[in-house]
Amino acid sequence: TKLCVLISGNGSNLQAIIDEISAGRLDAVVSGVISNRPNAYGLERAKSAGINAVCLDHTQFEDRESYDSALKEQINTFGADCVVLAGFMRILTPEFVDEFAGKLVNIHPSLLPKYKGLHTHQRAIDNGDTEHGVSVHFVTPELDGGPVIIQSRVPVFEGDSADDLAERVQEQERRIYPLVLRWFSAGRLSMRDNKAILDEQEL
């Protein structure tokens, strides 16, 4: 299974995927990494792992459509059975999303449908939530709105900072994203009628 991973920053989710593959726990290859930001540390992570990595800098494109068209071209050049958004901080056009429907996944640091968008950890703290977490979902044209595949919950402790909470969430991210990709690589996971299906069972 060819995974094309899209990043914008640190790449901790990318690193988790690379490590699982190296450890023989994920039967897939990362066919390429694409970052929209030139200084994304995840590009270094890819290069250190000998993985093709390119930057498609969105500031160099006229508009969202032309960017997404270049993105689609690069993904198809690398080859992808699944396009994995991993800390990718761009909103994709409906045309792009429809092109990869059912093989485009994202990880979002909240218990969707709560806290779509940004600054999810601080929002959970500000709301006095005692529980928070992370969701992996299929991507549909609705921002952070596609069918959820898996969620993992973490406690929020008194006095937690957003960084404390982010660290606790990211520990779960590193666990559940490779799990979802194991399911996908084994042909067990699909999206049907805007629902996530594992082994023919609706999730």
127 is annotated as contributing to ligand binding = no
- Is residue 64 marked as binding? yes
Question: Annotation-wise, does 39 bind a ligand?
Answer: no
**Could you give the CA distance from residue 149 to residue 107 in angstroms, rounded to a whole number?**
10
Compute the distance between CA of residue 7 and CA of residue 29 in angstroms, rounded to an integer: 16
- CB of residue 16 vs ligand GRF: minimum separation in angstroms? 8
Pick the closest to residue 79 from 190, 148, 2, 15 (CA basis). 2
Tell me if 153 is assigned to a ligand binding site.
no
Q: Is 68 or 144 the residue whose CB approaches ligand GRF more closely?
A: 144
What letter would DSSP give residue 147?
A: P
User: Which residue, 69 or 166, is less far from ligand GRF as judged by CB?
Assistant: 166
* Site of interaction with ligand GRF (CB under 6 A): 7, 9-14, 42, 86-87, 107, 109, 170, 173
> Given 58, 108, 121, 132, which residue is catalytic?
108
The distance of closest approach from Cβ of residue 107 to ligand GRF in the complex, given in angstroms and rounded to an integer, is 5
**Three-state secondary structure readout of 65-109:** HHHHHHHHHHHHHHCCCEEEECCCCCCCCHHHHHHCCCCEEEEEC
Q: Considering the complex, what minimum distance in angstroms separates the CB of residue 183 from ligand GRF?
A: 19
CB of 151 to ligand GRF, least distance (A): 12
- Rounded to the nearest angstrom, the gap between the alpha carbon of residue 22 and the centroid of all alpha carbons in its chain is 19
Residue 158 gets the label, from left (phi > 0), alpha (psi -120 to 50) or beta, of beta
Q: Verify whether residue 108 is a known catalytic residue.
A: yes
> What single DSSP character describes residue 115?
T
Residue of minimal Cβ distance to ligand GRF = 87
Q: Which is nearer to ligand GRF, 160 or 173 (CB)?
A: 173
Residues tagged active-site: 108
Positions at the binding site: 11-13, 64, 89-92, 106
